[in-house]
Amino acid sequence: MTSIVDIEREDSDDEAAAQGADTAGAAAPRHKLSRPRSAKTQGSRSRFQLFLRATRRKLATSCGAMLVSLLSKTWRVSMEGHENLEAAKGEGGGHFIALWHGRMLVPMAHHRHTRWTVLVSQSQDGDVTEELLTRYGFRVIRGSSSKGGARALREMIDALKSGAVLAITPDGPRGPMHSMSPGLVWMARATGYSVVPAGFVADRAWRMKSWDRFTVPKPFARVSFVYGPPIAVPRRTTNAELENASLALRDALVRAERRAFEVLGLEHDP
């Protein structure tokens, strides 16, 4: 934090009165230049600000988790395509789940304390997401294609082999909304595990003014879960063919979400 030298102007009449001066007339105004803060002082303030920021984040995460937990108890959930989750199980029972970033709260609240594992980016936003997910009993793997990718891939393979369901948001963490990062199909090819496209929709919800229109179902909302047929990306798929595989997965995600809207008798609203 850049230090600022403050110039304090003091009224000499007030100063003279405070000192009990008995001389007549007004004294000439004084100007006092404050000393620049020392590096030690600046460091202490910076640490204190970091502490306050971390405290506020923990309080927000704790309160948010409690609120969502209470809300989710009132939701009326219907589920379609559960057989696709069973069909997707590979070696050890693991597979991928693909969902849009803005819908992640819905399954997070419903599938808490399951064998779901979530890939979270190594960013400040990811730090907050990790705290919230761990409160719900999810395992978190940190990494992306640009940072920590090799280590994250090893952790994912181990998790999948142990039967974990690995949830990925292909348009996260920064969008644009409903875009497709090539990372998911690349991981599906590298690991050999299938991807289940999923749609999660609520008939009444709050929508945040974020790029992903983050969705929070309102109390007593009807919520539809739709799991589409699993999609495999063969290991022989070339890099040139990965783009087509990514587009096919995006279409499957859109179909799953459209079906979730149909279940609730609603028009598709991206």
Question: Could you give the residue ranges of the DSSP H alpha helices within the chain?
Answer: 12-18, 39-72, 82-87, 105-110, 124-135, 149-161, 183-191, 239-263
Rounded mean pLDDT of 138-162?
A: 80
In the structure encoding, which two tokens stand for residue 130, read together? 């990790």
Q: What is the pLDDT of residue 85?
A: 92
Domain 59-263 has CATH 3.40.1130.10: yes
Kindly report, residue by residue over 4-31, the tens digit of the pLDDT: 233 233 344 444 444 444 444 444 445 4
Kindly report, residue by residue over 69-99, the tens digit of the pLDDT: 889 999 999 999 999 999 999 878 899 999 9
Residue 102's nearest CA partner among 257, 178, 199, 214 is 214
Global pTM value: 0.74
Q: Where are the domains of the chain?
A: 59-263
**Rounded Cα–Cα distance for residues 233 and 79 (Å):** 26
Residues 6+ apart with CB under 8 A from 99: 107, 167, 168, 169, 198, 199, 200, 253
In the structure encoding, which two tokens stand for residue 121, read together? 């980016």
More confident residue, 22 or 189: 189
Q: What is the pLDDT of residue 65?
A: 73
Tell me the Cα Rg of the chain.
27
Rounded mean pLDDT of 238-267?
A: 95
**Rounded Cα–Cα distance for residues 102 and 112 (Å):** 18
Q: Are 246 and 180 in contact (CB under 8 A)?
A: yes
Kindly report, residue by residue over 102-128, the tens digit of the pLDDT: 998 888 887 776 778 988 877 766 777
Q: Are 79 and 149 in contact (CB under 8 A)?
A: no
